Chains A and B, each alone.
Chain A
Amino acid sequence: MDLLANVLISAMIAATPLVFAGLGELVAERSGVLNLGVEGMMIIGAIAGFAAMLATGSAILGLFAAMAGGALMAALFGVLTLTMRANQVASGLALTMFGLGLSALWGQAYSGRSAPPFPRLYIPGLTDLPFVGKLLFGQDGLVYLSLACVAGVAYVLTRTRVGLILRAVGENHDAAHAIGYPVIGVRYLAVMFGGAMAGLGGAYLSLVQTPLWVERMTAGRGWIALALVVFAAWRPLRVLLGAYLFGGITILQLHSQALGVKIDAQLLSMVPYIATIVVLVLISRDSARARLAAPACLGKSFHASS
């Protein structure tokens, strides 16, 4: 029973960076911008958060620095693709490489240093409950924040005017422009929100999950987050579900090995990607549904004159 609770707790921890990064990318993509630089923004968040935390001694300030770092990277991407209308795919890939390189350079002074453990929630009585106590009331604050973000994004996207404008820009930027919405402005904000969330996901790795700084520590999580958005068919709640599924599979696989159950590790490592491909096939099988899922203007540059 304790073991099961531990597996679930670890799965939530493994999933949280994916929730943040996936959710941020989802918002950017819903506004019509495909930013493949998630990995680069995450790693910048990881080092920015770590550096700020060591400099100020405050984990909270570290998190803000991580968000600022990620958002700055995203703003750079915005200048390239929104203002200068460069190709989004190429710019995104470049952003990832830039982020990995810059973080390695910046992080030289920090490799080998470590952060104090991140505080966990403790509510006397509730946290001590058997099984559900630590699972529901004993996580670190960021796990709860990630859940709140999912709810918040889901609400804003579907129930508010801001969400409607964002979706309009992503679905048909010419129409949105004709009505008078600032397409480029909306996209800048969405992309920078995505960057801030990716930065937060990176900081979760360097401040909470490990907690230390080593080069390239995101190790491909940015790419999984990108796959996750497709897997989730651009819906926030499904991002959460998918992240927990992907996180859960990783953890389950590690635990099953320690228990001596034989499952091929390689096979399980492929699952997130296979699941994404399956979803892609499913949603593109019928063109009406495909149109429903992906924002129609995803990846297209916007020209106010056209």
Chain B
Amino acid sequence: MKFRTFSKITAAAVAALAVAAGSALAQTKPKVSFVYVGPIGDMGWSYQHHQGLEAIKKEFGDKIETNYVENVPEGPDAERVIDQLAATGSSIIFTTSFGFMNPTIKVAARYPNVKFEHATGFKQAPNVATYNARFYEGRHVIGLIAGKMTKTNTIGYIASFPIPEVVMGINSAYLAAKSVNPNVKIKVVWVSTWFDPGKEADAAKALVDQSADVLMQHTDSPAPVKYAAEKGIYAFGQASDMTQFAPEKHLTAIIDNWNPYYISRVKALIAGTWKSGDTWDGIKDGTVVFAPWSKSIPADVVKLAETARDEIAAGKRHPFTGPINKQDGSPWLKAGETASDKDLSSMNFYVQGVEGALPK
């Protein structure tokens, strides 16, 4: 008896809630959600995506609602988080790390009315768009600077995981450095993490101990830049301007400026013109920008870097222009040939001249 009363009340409550939720949904504002792999205070990758969220808030004000979840591990946990967001009324969900790819696709299949945007991946669906930035264009420019600035002819590179995104950055930087300094070598250390300041600093130490005097990183914390400052060698910031950590030694940084893309996508969502697709913006579109050049860079090197930047923006230069061989000596691009986007987004080999074996 008691149980029956209870279940009746519950059923009534659920029905009332459903009605309330339904009417709320009909007039609610679009809700924009973000999923970050790191803390928004990492001063790097996740921080920059969060800047995008702030830009959306500023642009659309109270026309939209926003929320975000930070520190989401890549893997099964991510699926739970994304599902939760989709189930609680998000209209569009930006999942901002490569490892969120499969969870995003899976959840998207369950919520056909919710829009998903996955950063740096390659799987799309009618309600899943992908987007990335041509960071390899930026790597080309800082590669040129590194090639000119190194005295020991050794560039140290702190890498995270051997995914195409990271591999193409290494290759692009090396080819550029090599083009201005035939003796240059690149040493790559894989730390198997996107974010572990202690380990990143250790990796920086290892590289400096082995005579690297310019550091590049594809991990998210400012620890390597900070270490470079202490050691009096040069470093490039990652994802955001890290000048504050090494005022003298921070040469420049490739800044991920996602704001224009995020604003355009939310605009499309509100207008009802959102479509799935694959967007890959670069220097031309203002997504890949540079922190101010350091005063330590000589004027002729600044000119070299700016020329490269402007030529890439104008479409006159491609960082991967043949002839380029793979590490094992087999040909990849013929003279004058440029790499296709498809080649780039599945790149799983070093180019000739990079030392060491690529982890699998």
What residues of chain A have their CB less than 8 Å away from a CB belonging to chain B?
2-3, 6-7, 10, 13-14, 17, 104, 107-108, 111-114, 117, 205, 209-212, 214-221, 250-251, 254-255, 257-260, 262, 264-266, 269
30 A/B residue pairs, CB under 8 Å, sorted by A: A6-B209, A108-B41, A114-B222, A114-B226, A114-B245, A205-B197, A209-B198, A209-B202, A210-B201, A214-B43, A214-B221, A214-B222, A214-B223, A215-B41, A216-B38, A217-B197, A217-B198, A219-B195, A219-B196, A219-B197, A219-B198, A220-B196, A254-B189, A254-B191, A257-B188, A258-B210, A259-B210, A265-B191, A265-B192, A265-B359
A111 CB to nearest chain B CB (Å): 4
Task: Tell me whether B248 is interfacial, beta carbon within 8 Å.
Answer: no
B359 CB to nearest chain A CB (Å): 6
A3 CB to nearest chain B CB (Å): 6
Q: Mark B204-234, 1 if CB is under 8 A from A, else 0.
A: 0111011010000000011100110010000
- Given A3-B210, A216-B38, 7 more pairs with CB closer than 8 A: A14-B202, A112-B43, A112-B222, A113-B244, A257-B206, A258-B207, A260-B357
A262 touching B192, Cβ below 8 Å: no
A contact residues around B201 at 8 Å (CB): 209-210
Task: Tell me whether B42 is interfacial, beta carbon within 8 Å.
Answer: yes
Cross-chain contact of B230 among A117, A205, A219, A257 (Cβ < 8 A): A117
Within 8 A of A (CB), among B25-67: 38-39, 41-43
Whether A255 touches B206, Cβ cut-off 8 Å, given contacts A14-B198, A209-B201, A214-B41, is yes
A contact residues around B189 at 8 Å (CB): 254, 257-258
Task: Tell me whether B331 is interfacial, beta carbon within 8 Å.
Answer: no
B43 touching A111, Cβ below 8 Å: yes
CA distance A107 to B187 in the complex (A): 34
B122 CB to nearest chain A CB (Å): 23
B291 CB to nearest chain A CB (Å): 14
Task: Tell me whether B199 is interfacial, beta carbon within 8 Å.
Answer: yes
B contact residues around A255 at 8 Å (CB): 206, 209-210
A285 CB to nearest chain B CB (Å): 32
B51 CB to nearest chain A CB (Å): 13
Closest to B162 in A: A265
